[in-house]
Amino acid sequence: MDNLSYCRQYIISDSRLEPLPGWCEVDIHGELFVIHHPDLDFSRVDSPKEEGGVVVLGYIIDPMTPNLTTLEIAERLARDSNTFDDLLSNIFGLSGRYVIIYWSEKEAKLVHDPCALRKAFYFFGDKNLFCASQPGLIKNFHHLDGSQDLDLVDFISSEKFLKNESFWVGDETVYHNVKQLMPNFYLDLRSKNVNRYWVNNPEKLGSLDEAVKEISTILKGSIDAASRQRLVMQSVTAGWDSRVLLAASKCVSKRILYFVNTMNVYKDNHMDIAVPKKMLGDMGLEVNIFREMPKLRDEFYEVMKMNVEGARKLPKTLAIQYYHDFHYGKLNINGNGSEIVRCYYGEKCAESSMISSSYVIKKAGLDQDSTYLHRKVEDWLADVRDLVEEQDLNVMDLFYWEQRMGNWGGMFMSEQDVAVEGFMPFNNRRLLVLALGLDDKYRVGPDHILHKKLIKEMWPELLEYPINPDTLKVKIRNLLVTGMPEGMKEVIKNILRS
């Protein structure tokens, strides 16, 4: 499994690096040196105007021009970006999973996709600069000391951390002075500074219906473009996020392998099996049910642990091995990131100036006893307060974008790299800014008005099938919030616990 070592990964330095076996090497005018795994998409375009250009590690999609390749988009970016600020404006409407290096006589900067799904970890030494897809890759070329932050060590050693699928908060890592580039930040490779940025939609849309049409166009164009670039597989469940993406794939459905992942747990009567099977069958489409997946092999998990710092052993880890064995190299579409759009943590219910670390940690279901979490969340709140007020954002939506997707979401994508390339159509800055500009009442559950309108716009027949139908236990729990006598509530609670 040597070819899977650091699969689809890269490292950048200001000094030449000895490539790993089979890896590719790139010299950017003697200033920066890049080596990358051969399965990682790579494009380089030198600017015709001066000694500058762009390097793209990963792939980019233009939903408005789905026939363009990453190289063609990179050529346009190099031609039309006279400054790094120009580049930030020019990637505003793009989808994909990428890191872009922009360089010119005046600037050398690095930025990644909106949700930081193509990871970038950096280390600024006294003599050297390193930026890589994983901190372990930096450790391959430079000695790293473990973190000296005892609060951090306590946090990642806690049972709550493991129960939350290693949901990290902040830009710290287990290594001293190695940090992660978070969403809505870019890296200045010359000054060795990290800077926050925000790009607004240049066109203000006045209504929900206008936003629905625009978001629908982005989602449909993104999936169309993805299906042109490589073989595509797409998970289907009974949930909202999956339904929206299924609707967005209507026009290219014949190019897509739709699948349901049982994780060797779900039975045929589970809603995430039964609903997709019925729905896709009625639409004349085949659904592939991944069941009886082979036991997780020790050697496969060892490669994952080497490739990804803190790689987890979860039911979905078994699915990653299955993707490797039967679908290696495909583009795997999932609905992550949609939670940002649909107010995952609920409507805005407090002014940002009144929100504390305890409020955020409780809303996110994290460990209230963690000193590290309180410190990092307080730091984050202090950093985003002006942005939240200026843009009138729901602070918990921004938390999901920057912390949940920037850490937990990106980690899952990195774990998948050993098997497939990941694609998240909601990972589009124009889409996210458009959606966050809408009133919370259109986005929040249980009605999910925006999601419902998106499905109606793209494939209305899909609304005829249940979305997250309640199980018997959920229906009974819902009754408990009504005026039922307390004694009866306790009886039913005891039944549910049994």
For 20-63, the pLDDT digits (tens) are 999 999 999 999 999 999 999 999 999 876 778 999 999 999 99
Q: Is residue 395 part of a domain?
A: no
**3-state DSSP percent of the chain in helix, strand and coil, to 5:** 45, 15, 40
Q: How confident is the model at residue 347 (pLDDT cuts 50, 70, 90)?
A: confident
Q: Is residue 307 part of a domain?
A: yes
| Structural domain total, the chain | 3
Residues 463 and 433 both lie in one domain: yes
Residues 381-405: tens digit of each pLDDT? 999 999 999 999 999 999 999 999 9
Is the pLDDT confidence value at 479 over 70? no
3-state secondary structure of 260: strand
Q: How confident is the model at residue 481 (pLDDT cuts 50, 70, 90)?
A: very low
Which are the contacts of 187, defined by CB distance < 8 A and separation ≥ 6?
A: 109, 110, 111, 120, 122, 131, 181, 193, 194
Residues 448 and 491 both lie in one domain: no
d(Cα 192, Cα 179) in Å, to the nearest integer? 12
Centroid of chain to Cα 381: 21
d(Cα 370, Cα 197) in Å, to the nearest integer? 29
Indicate yes or no: pTM above 0.85: yes
Give me 396's structure tokens.
């918990």
Q: What pLDDT is stored for residue 203 in this prediction?
A: 72
Residues 467 and 329 both lie in one domain: yes
Instruction: Print the domain residue range for 488.
Output: 472-498
Q: What pLDDT is stored for residue 493 in this prediction?
A: 46
Q: Is residue 328 part of a domain?
A: yes
Residues 40 and 67 both lie in one domain: yes
DSSP assignment of 406-454 equals IIIIHHHHHHHTTT-EEE-TT--HHHHHHHHTS-HHHHSTTT-HHHHHH
Q: What pLDDT is stored for residue 49 in this prediction?
A: 67
d(Cα 369, Cα 362) in Å, to the nearest integer? 11
Q: Is residue 232 part of a domain?
A: yes
Residues 161 and 37 both lie in one domain: yes
d(Cα 225, Cα 73) in Å, to the nearest integer? 12
Q: Is residue 116 part of a domain?
A: yes
Q: How confident is the model at residue 494 (pLDDT cuts 50, 70, 90)?
A: very low
Residues 319 and 179 both lie in one domain: no
Q: What pLDDT is stored for residue 200 in this prediction?
A: 87
d(Cα 178, Cα 146) in Å, to the nearest integer? 9
Is the pLDDT confidence value at 247 over 70? yes
Q: What pLDDT is stored for residue 490 in this prediction?
A: 46
Mean pLDDT computed over 474-497 = 48
Q: What pLDDT is stored for residue 48 in this prediction?
A: 72
Q: What is the CATH number of the domain that holds 291?
A: 3.40.50.620
Strand ranges in 274-330 using DSSP code E only, listed in sequence order: 287-290
Residues 189 and 216 both lie in one domain: no
Do residues 81 and 52 touch, judged by C-beta distance below 8 A?
Answer: no
| Domain stop point among 151, 168, 196 | 196
Give 196 or 4, the one with higher predicted confidence.
196
Residues 292 and 153 both lie in one domain: no
d(Cα 46, Cα 81) in Å, to the nearest integer? 12
Residues 279 and 164 both lie in one domain: no
Is the pLDDT confidence value at 482 over 50? no
Mean pLDDT computed over 456-483 = 74
Radius of gyration from C-alpha coordinates of the chain: 23
Q: What pLDDT is stored for residue 51 in this prediction?
A: 77
Q: Is residue 186 part of a domain?
A: yes
Mean pLDDT computed over 235-251 = 97
Q: Is the dihedral of CA 438, 347, 184, 98 positive or negative?
A: negative
Q: What is the CATH number of the domain that holds 48?
A: 3.60.20.10
- What percent of the chain is predicted at pLDDT more than 70? 93
Mean pLDDT computed over 280-295 = 94
Angle between helix 208-229 and helix 240-248 axes, rounded to 10 deg: 70
Q: Is residue 282 part of a domain?
A: yes
Q: What pLDDT is stored for residue 349 in this prediction?
A: 77
Residues 166 and 29 both lie in one domain: yes
Establish whether the linkage from the previous residue to 446 is cis, with ω within 30° of 0: yes
Q: How confident is the model at residue 491 (pLDDT cuts 50, 70, 90)?
A: very low
Mean pLDDT computed over 61-86 = 97
Q: Is residue 486 part of a domain?
A: yes
Mean pLDDT computed over 120-148 = 95
The H or E element spanning position 162 is helix 159-163
Q: How confident is the model at residue 1 (pLDDT cuts 50, 70, 90)?
A: low
Mean pLDDT computed over 335-351 = 90
Mean pLDDT computed over 99-116 = 97
Cα 100 to Cα 32, 84, 155, 184, distances in angstroms: 13, 11, 32, 14
Give me 219's structure tokens.
């989602």
Mean pLDDT computed over 195-215 = 88
Burial of 267 (0-12, 13-18, 19+ CB in 10 A): exposed
Instruction: For 138, list phi and psi in degrees, rounded to 5.
Output: -60, -40
Residues 146 and 270 both lie in one domain: no
Dihedral through CA 53, CA 130, CA 299, CA 335, nearest 10? -50
Please, what is the average pLDDT of the chain?
92
Mean pLDDT computed over 193-208 = 86
Q: How confident is the model at residue 240 (pLDDT cuts 50, 70, 90)?
A: very high
Give me 420's structure tokens.
């497939």
Residues 122 and 242 both lie in one domain: no
